[in-house]
């Protein structure tokens, strides 16, 4: 579901204009971004917790050239779902998206 579809669903559910619902959804997302940009944690009861975590600088290797590179310190956002969301998602009947991997050639499938 896209943000547009969510706003449309909310507009129908609440009985407001679609444009108003889109503005409310966008304002909510902007608010979440603003809090995470200025603070380290945002807790939305029964929904979940967003936390900003700092990943330390580290050495890595370029897989193409094999040269060592430094990856600078950076911030990542971690989301931990709340109990209500966890139960609702676990009991949902919606099909989960499946990532399909490319088939791996085995000795019997490969051609000489």
Task: For residue 63, give its domain range.
Answer: 40-85
> Is residue 17 domain-shared with residue 28, that is, in the same domain?
yes
Q: What's the mean pLDDT in 74-101?
A: 86
Are the beta carbons of 67 and 45 closer than 8 angstroms?
no
> Is residue 45 domain-shared with residue 68, that is, in the same domain?
yes
| Token duo for residue 75 | 């911030």
pLDDT for res 48: 96
pLDDT for res 111: 47
> Is residue 33 domain-shared with residue 63, that is, in the same domain?
no
Q: What's the mean pLDDT in 68-79?
A: 95
> Is residue 79 domain-shared with residue 44, that is, in the same domain?
yes
pTM: predicted TM-score of the whole model, two decimal places: 0.70
Are the beta carbons of 48 and 85 closer than 8 angstroms?
yes
How confident is the model over 13-61, as pLDDT tens digits?
Answer: 999 999 999 999 999 999 999 999 999 999 999 999 999 999 999 999 9
Q: For the domain that residue 72 is a member of, what is the CATH number?
A: 4.10.520.10
> Is residue 57 domain-shared with residue 75, that is, in the same domain?
yes
> Is residue 45 domain-shared with residue 81, that is, in the same domain?
yes
């Amino acid at each position: 579901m896209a943000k547009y579809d969510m706003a449309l669903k909310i507009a129908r559910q609440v009985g407001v204009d679609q444009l108003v619902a889109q503005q409310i959804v966008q304002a909510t997302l902007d608010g979440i971004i603003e809090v995470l940009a200025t603070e380290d944690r945002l807790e939305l009861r029964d929904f979940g917790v967003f936390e900003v975590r700092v990943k330390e600088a580290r050495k890595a290797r370029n897989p193409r050239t094999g040269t060592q590179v430094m990856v600078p310190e950076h911030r990542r956002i971690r989301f931990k779902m709340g109990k209500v969301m966890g139960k609702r998602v676990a009991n949902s009947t919606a099909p989960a998206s499946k990532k399909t991997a490319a088939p791996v050639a085995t000795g019997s499938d490969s051609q000489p």
